[in-house]
Amino acid sequence: MTLTRDLSCQVCGHDRFVHADVIWPELVRQWQLGPDEVAYINVQQGTRCERCRANVRSQALARALLGVLEWPGTLEAYVTSLPHPSPRLLEINEAGALTPWLSRLRTHRLVRFPEHDMRALPFADGSFDLVVHSDTLEHVPGPETALAECRRVLATPGACVFTVPIVVGRLTRSRAGLPDSYHGDPGCRESDHLVQTEFGSDAWTAVLRAGFDACGIVPYRYPAGIALVGRRGPAD
Ligand SMILES: [Zn+2]
């Protein structure tokens, strides 16, 4: 375990992080990852705030979310500071370590995949101001359809803020026809952890193909922590 101090926590403002590797050899072989890729994916998933336990993936998600909200402080300060208008927020799966914070918003809704099909959400058009998900889209057959569905349930203006695992040195590929690969833990064989899509440096194109008006790419710690933002509505 090592300690780093280079970036403060977007969730709670703490400035000390702890690290433990999380990638296992089978996944390295399946994904054909090089040593540098293994290193940054370990940071993405295994470097955590010492205080609130949000990992670098969650940090990127929180930073992107705070940017959309135009909030200069931490996520903790946002959800505990009133008054401010509470956005109608849909969370799909527990989004990283952010659920305890997001669920404090009165207008928070949570649905889980695969109990709810991300490609057929049970909500009317324009029901939300924000849709948030984290490392879920790669498990959905037809990720563009799922993103288009996120766009459908968003009002205008609205934003879909999310992460997927991105290997930045290659292009996106479907795992159709390849051996089954699972996220979660070593030995995991749960169907909702089966990887359908390996996202690469063109991950942003899925956002635009899904019909969003703009796509933002927000780094927390490049390339370990990157979040994507699909905007519905005219650019500023
Ligand atoms: Zn923290």
Rounded distance from Cα 49 to ligand 1 centre (Å): 5
Rounded distance from Cα 58 to ligand 1 centre (Å): 10
Q: Which residue's structure tokens are 């999380």?
A: 22
Q: What is the pLDDT of residues 112-146, one digit of tens each?
A: 988 889 999 999 999 999 999 999 999 999 999 99
* pLDDT tier, 59 (very low <50, low <70, confident <90, very high otherwise): very high
Rounded distance from Cα 22 to ligand 1 centre (Å): 19
**pLDDT of amino acid 35:** 95
How many other C-beta atoms can be found within 10 angstroms of the C-beta atom of residue 135? 19
Residue 117: both structure tokens together: 């099909």
Q: Out of 62-66, 103-107, 152-156, 226-230, pick the least confident.
A: 103-107
**pLDDT of amino acid 236:** 59
* pLDDT tier, 4 (very low <50, low <70, confident <90, very high otherwise): very low
Q: Which residue's structure tokens are 């979660």?
A: 184
**pLDDT of amino acid 34:** 95
Rounded distance from Cα 211 to ligand 1 centre (Å): 34
- Surrounding ion ligand 1 within 5 Å at CB are 9, 11-12, 14, 49, 51-52
Taking the alpha carbons at both ends of the chain, their separation in whole angstroms is 43
Q: Out of 68-72, 109-113, 231-235, pick the least confident.
A: 231-235
Could you give the CA distance from residue 66 to residue 158 in angstroms, rounded to a whole number? 14
Q: Which residue's structure tokens are 């990157």?
A: 226
Rounded distance from Cα 39 to ligand 1 centre (Å): 22
**pLDDT of amino acid 147:** 98
Max CA pair span of the chain:
52
User: Percentage of the chain with pLDDT > 90?
Assistant: 78
Residue 77: both structure tokens together: 């300060």
Residue 56: both structure tokens together: 């670098």
**pLDDT of amino acid 44:** 95
* pLDDT tier, 40 (very low <50, low <70, confident <90, very high otherwise): very high
Rounded distance from Cα 83 to ligand 1 centre (Å): 23
> Averaging pLDDT over each range in 18-27, 58-67, 186-195, which range is the top one?
58-67
* Mean pLDDT along residues 19-46: 93
**pLDDT of amino acid 176:** 80
What is the per-residue burial (b if ≥16 Cβ within 10 Å, else e) of 93-131?
A: bbbbbbbebbeebeebbbbebeeeebbebebeeebbbbb
Q: Is the pLDDT at 46 greater than 90, yes or no?
A: yes
Cis check: omega of the bond before 223, within 30 degrees of 0: yes
Are residues 125 and 39 in contact, defined by beta-carbon separation less than 8 angstroms?
A: no
* Mean pLDDT along residues 11-21: 96
**pLDDT of amino acid 191:** 66
Rounded distance from Cα 17 to ligand 1 centre (Å): 8
**pLDDT of amino acid 114:** 83
